[in-house]
């Protein structure tokens, strides 16, 4: 059993958890037997059954070193796209509001019949 614990300690290099509402994301850096590093990303969400008992639903992604750069770029590109879309939508809403309030026809306000 001691060898298994030594291996487990060697395997777990770094851990970080992010709580996000009802979910928790775990980022764990681990080492293979050959001392190659990889990342596991685990999403954990508490679920309740009809009796009020709970269990954790987990989804896990394994990300290996040969994919770090591609994954990082895709994630960064995705975040950038979200920011662009949000900015574009906010601009459209702002323009719509300003047009709605500034498009006034003063001829309609004439008091003289």
To the question of pTM greater than 0.75 for the whole model, the response is no
What per-residue confidence (pLDDT) applies to 12? Answer: 82
Give the integer Cα–Cα distance in Å for 93 and 113: 37
What is the residue extent of each domain of the chain? Answer: 2-102
Residue-averaged pLDDT of the chain = 83
pLDDT digits (tens, 9 = 90+) for 69-82: 999 999 999 999 99
- Token pair recorded at residue 32: 């293979």
Query: Are 63 and 41 contacting, i.e. CB atoms less than 8 angstroms apart?
Result: yes
Q: What is the CATH number of domain 2-102?
A: 3.10.450.700
CA distances from 111 to 9, 102, 106, 107, 108 (A): 85, 21, 11, 9, 9
């Amino acid at each position: 059993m001691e060898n298994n614990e030594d291996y487990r300690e060697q395997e777990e290099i770094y851990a970080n958890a992010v709580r996000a509402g009802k979910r928790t994301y775990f980022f764990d850096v681990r080492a293979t037997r050959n001392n190659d590093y990889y990342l596991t990303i685990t999403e954990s969400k508490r679920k309740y059954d009809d009796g009020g008992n709970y269990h954790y639903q987990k989804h896990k992604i394994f990300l290996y070193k040969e994919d770090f750069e591609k994954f990082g770029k895709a994630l960064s590109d995705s975040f950038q796209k979200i920011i662009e879309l949000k900015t574009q939508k906010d601009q459209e809403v702002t323009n719509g509001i300003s047009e709605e309030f500034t498009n006034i026809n003063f001829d309609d306000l004439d008091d003289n019949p």
